Amino acid sequence: MALAVKAMTLVLCWGGICLGLFRAFGGARRTVLSGTLAGFAGGAVLVVALAAAVPATALAATLRGVLAVGFLLLGGVAVTHLYRPAGATLDISGPAAVPPGRWPAVLTSAAAGLVTAAVGGGVLGALPLGPDRLLPGAITLAIGLTLPFLAVAGERRLPVALLLTGEALLALVVGLLLLLSSSSLGLDLFAPLSMKVMKLIHDFIHQFFESMLIPDHPFFRNDVWTYIGYLFSNSVGFWGGLALWLLPPLLLVLGLLRKPLPSVAHIRQGAQRRKLLASFLRARRWQLVVPWLTVLVLAGAVYRSTHPATEYWDPKPVPVSAGADGTVVLPVKDGERDLDDGRIHKFALRDGEQEARFLVVMKPDGRYAVALDACAICQPEGYGQAEGTVICYYCKTLIPLETVGQPGGCNPVPIRFTASEREIRVARQELVNAWVSTVQAGARVPGGKR
Amino acid sequence: MIIEARGLTRSYAEICALKPLQLQVPEGEWLTVMGHSGSGKSTLLNLMGGLDRPSAGTIQVGGVDLASLDENGLARFRREWIGIIFQQHHLVPYLTALENVMMAQYFHSVTDEAEARAALERVGLGNRLRNRPGELSGGEQQRVCIARSIINSPRILLGDEPTGNLDHQNTRMVLELLRELRDQEKFTIVLVTHNSEVAAWGDRTIFMDDGVVVRDEPRGAPA
Q: A222 falls in which pLDDT band (50, 70, 90)?
A: low
Q: B91 falls in which pLDDT band (50, 70, 90)?
A: very high
**Which chain A residue lies closest to B104 (C-alpha atoms)?**
A271
A172 and A47, same structural domain? Answer: yes
Between B119 and B166, the higher pLDDT residue: B119
In this structure, what are the phi and psi dihedrals at residue B157, rounded to the nearest 5 degrees? -110, 120
CA distance A399 to chain B (A): 57
Alpha-carbon gap, residue A129 to A388, rounded angstroms = 17
A156 and A7, same structural domain? Answer: yes
- Tell me whether residues B108 and A275 touch, CB distance under 8 A: yes
Whether A79 shows a pLDDT value over 50: the answer reads yes
Residues of B in contact with A281 (CB under 8 A): 110
Instruction: Look over chain A and give the mean of its residue pLDDT values, rounded to a whole number.
Output: 83
Q: A270 falls in which pLDDT band (50, 70, 90)?
A: confident
Lowest mean pLDDT among A272-276, B113-117, B192-196: B192-196
Between A443 and A376, the higher pLDDT residue: A376
A124 and A258, same structural domain? Answer: yes
- Tell me whether residues A275 and B109 touch, CB distance under 8 A: yes
A295 and A187, same structural domain? Answer: yes
A392 and A301, same structural domain? Answer: no
Whether the CB of A285 is below 8 Å from some CB of chain B: the reply is no
Segment A346-368 mean pLDDT: 86
Whether the CB of A275 is below 8 Å from some CB of chain B: the reply is yes
Domain encompassing residue A280: 2-193+234-307
- Tell me whether residues B115 and A281 touch, CB distance under 8 A: no
Whether B181 shows a pLDDT value over 60: the answer reads yes
Segment A94-111 mean pLDDT: 74
Q: A445 falls in which pLDDT band (50, 70, 90)?
A: very low
A332 and A252, same structural domain? Answer: no
Residue that finishes a domain, picked among A265, A280, A307:
A307
Instruction: Look over chain B and give the mean of its residue pLDDT values, rounded to a whole number.
Output: 89
Which tens digit of pLDDT belongs to each residue from A159-202?
A: 888 888 889 999 999 999 999 999 887 888 998 888 888 878 87
Between A148 and A224, the higher pLDDT residue: A148
What are the distances in angstroms from CA A272 to CA A99, A396, B187? 30, 58, 16
Whether A70 shows a pLDDT value over 90: the answer reads yes
A339 and A303, same structural domain? Answer: no
Q: Give kind and range of the element (H or E) at residue A330.
A: strand A327-331
Look at residue A351 and give its three-state secondary structure: strand
Provide the CATH number for the domain around residue B53: 3.40.50.300
In this structure, what are the phi and psi dihedrals at residue B36, rounded to the nearest 5 degrees? -80, 175
Residue A205 belongs to a domain = no
Provide the CATH number for the domain around residue A339: 2.102.10
Task: Say how many domains are in chain B.
Answer: 1
Position A218 scores a pLDDT of 60
Task: Identify the DSSP state of B222.
Answer: P
Strands (E), A174-245: none
What are the distances in angstroms from CA B118 to CA A244, A270, B98, B136, B151? 48, 11, 10, 18, 9
Segment A306-314 mean pLDDT: 77
Q: A391 falls in which pLDDT band (50, 70, 90)?
A: confident
pTM: 0.76
Residue A198 belongs to a domain = no
Chain B interface test: which of A264, A267, A274 (most B C-beta within 10 Å): A274
A294 and A346, same structural domain? Answer: no
Look at residue A371 and give its three-state secondary structure: strand
Please state the ipTM of this predicted complex: 0.84
A179 and A103, same structural domain? Answer: yes
A389 and A326, same structural domain? Answer: yes
Position B105 scores a pLDDT of 94
- Tell me whether residues B153 and A271 touch, CB distance under 8 A: yes
Q: How many CB pairs below 8 A link A and B?
A: 27
Interface residues of chain B, partner chain A, Cβ below 8 Å: 105, 108-112, 115, 151-153
Whether A366 shows a pLDDT value over 90: the answer reads no
Position A448 scores a pLDDT of 44
- Tell me whether residues A274 and B105 touch, CB distance under 8 A: yes
Residue that finishes a domain, picked among A248, A276, A307:
A307
Runs of H (alpha helix) within B9-163: 41-48, 71-81, 97-108, 113-122, 138-150
Residues of B in contact with A270 (CB under 8 A): 112, 115, 151, 153
A322 and A303, same structural domain? Answer: no
Alpha-carbon gap, residue B58 to B65, rounded angstroms = 7
Could you say which of A269, A272, A278 has the minimum Cβ distance to residue B110?
A: A278
Q: Give kind and range of the element (H or E) at residue A145.
A: helix A134-156
Which tens digit of pLDDT belongs to each residue from A314-350?
A: 888 888 888 888 888 888 888 888 888 888 999 998 8
Task: Say how many domains are in chain A.
Answer: 2
Position A100 scores a pLDDT of 58
The amino acid at A342: G
Residue A229 belongs to a domain = no
- Tell me whether residues A274 and B153 touch, CB distance under 8 A: no
CA distance B111 to chain A (A): 8
Residue A225 belongs to a domain = no
- Tell me whether residues A271 and B110 touch, CB distance under 8 A: no
Residues of A in contact with B185 (CB under 8 A): none
Lowest mean pLDDT among A34-38, A251-255, A322-326, A378-382: A378-382
Could you say which of B108, B111, B153 has the minimum Cβ distance to residue A269?
A: B153
Lowest mean pLDDT among A113-117, A351-355, B90-94: A351-355
Residue B223 belongs to a domain = no
Q: B220 falls in which pLDDT band (50, 70, 90)?
A: low
Nearest of B25, B19, B31 to residue B205 by alpha carbon: B31
Q: A141 falls in which pLDDT band (50, 70, 90)?
A: confident
- Tell me whether residues A271 and B152 touch, CB distance under 8 A: yes
Whether A440 shows a pLDDT value over 80: the answer reads no
Domain encompassing residue B24: 3-218
Residues B55 and B91 sit within 8 Å (Cβ to Cβ)? no
Position A364 scores a pLDDT of 81
